[in-house]
Amino acid sequence: MNNFRTLLAVIAFCLFTVFRSASFAAVPSRSVEIHAHRYAFAPSEITVKKGETVRLILISDDVPHSLLVKDLGIDQVIQKSHPSQVTFTASQAGNFHGRCGRFCGGGHGEMIFTVHVTGN
């Protein structure tokens, strides 16, 4: 009987551990497609909720670019013909400014991107 209880306790602990780690795994609640081209991102800004996990699908329409939003830990190269993805969860409300991190021509400095994070 004691062994049975111990077994139940071990199973309960394992299930608890599995469910707890599953809830920590950041599963994106939605995806947003962002195109990069000389010299802009489209859209150039997005709004997400604090705590929301969002997947960005990044597509270059011409030459290689990147999306760099340092304060959200986003630093993703966007190769031409190879869409890339980056997933992030904003833990703080505010406006986070990003830009293209790969020199792509004369207007490179104009390639800015903003993530608006709204509070709960």
Residue numbers of the site for Cu ion (CB under 5 A)?
100, 104, 108, 111
* CB nearer to Cu ion: pick between 48 and 78: 78
* CB nearer to Cu ion: pick between 51 and 64: 64
Shortest distance, position 106 Cβ to Cu ion, whole Å: 10
Answer yes or no: are the C-beta atoms of 77 and 84 closer than 8 Å.
yes
Cα dist. 110→5, 38, 43, 114 in Å?
65, 9, 14, 12
Shortest distance, position 29 Cβ to Cu ion, whole Å: 29
Shortest distance, position 45 Cβ to Cu ion, whole Å: 17
* Residue keyed to tokens 């031409």: 80
Q: Which of 85, 28, 90 has its CA nearest to residue 57? A: 85
* CB nearer to Cu ion: pick between 48 and 104: 104
Shortest distance, position 54 Cβ to Cu ion, whole Å: 22
Cα torsion angle, 34, 73, 94, 40, sign? negative
* CB nearer to Cu ion: pick between 100 and 115: 100
Q: In what order do the strands lie in the sheet with 40-42?
A: 40-42, 30-37, 53-60, 84-89
